[in-house]
Amino acid sequence: MSRALAWLGGRLGFPRRAFHLRAASPADADSFARLHAEGFHIAWDGAEFERLLADPLSRAWLVTAGPGGPAAGFVLFKGVRPETEILSVAVARARRREGIGRLLLERSFALLAAEGFRTVFLEVEDGNAAALRLYEHLGFREIARRRGYYRTASGASATAIVMRRDIA
């Protein structure tokens, strides 16, 4: 549903699509791998996500289309209080531009802050305009650049933009 349709539907009294946010577990590894493969040309497999989701230093949340519905997006953090890093965030291709990424990040920041985390870091490819817009809108600021950090689908090198945001 486009933003315009969601807005119009809300103005006309139709309910917005219901999303359900829950903590993720190693059992969600295959859903994470599927979503990651839709958004990244070098995708992590289920075994890698299972390992990360089992790590006590990781925090992860999954958004589904209603309780028990199909996975619509996820975010995965890893860190030691008071700092953490976003390792990955992905939204199902068919569900992009519905506010799922913002929902994931805003709610996870509140949950992380309640656990004593104060600062979030991330790296994003400099050509990922949609992600950069979202992160800047959420208050992230560029603190460094890592030239040649990523490889694009064509094999060319790409710069990583390192960003930071205080959440508490």
21 touches 66 (CB < 8 A) = no
SS3 of 53-116: the string is HHCCCEEEEEEECCCCCCEEEEEEEEEECCEEEEEEEEECHHHCCCCHHHHHHHHHHHHHHHCC
Is there a catalytic annotation at residue 149? Answer: no
The three-class DSSP label of residue 13 is coil
Question: Which of 50, 98, 135, 150 is flagged as catalytic?
Answer: 135
Q: How far is CA 95 from CA 90, 112, 141, in A?
A: 10, 25, 26
Is there a catalytic annotation at residue 123? Answer: yes
CA gap 139, 29 in Å, rounded: 29
CA-nearest of 117, 122, 108 to 168 is 117
Question: Which of 38, 48, 85, 123 is flagged as catalytic?
Answer: 123
Active site residues: 123, 135
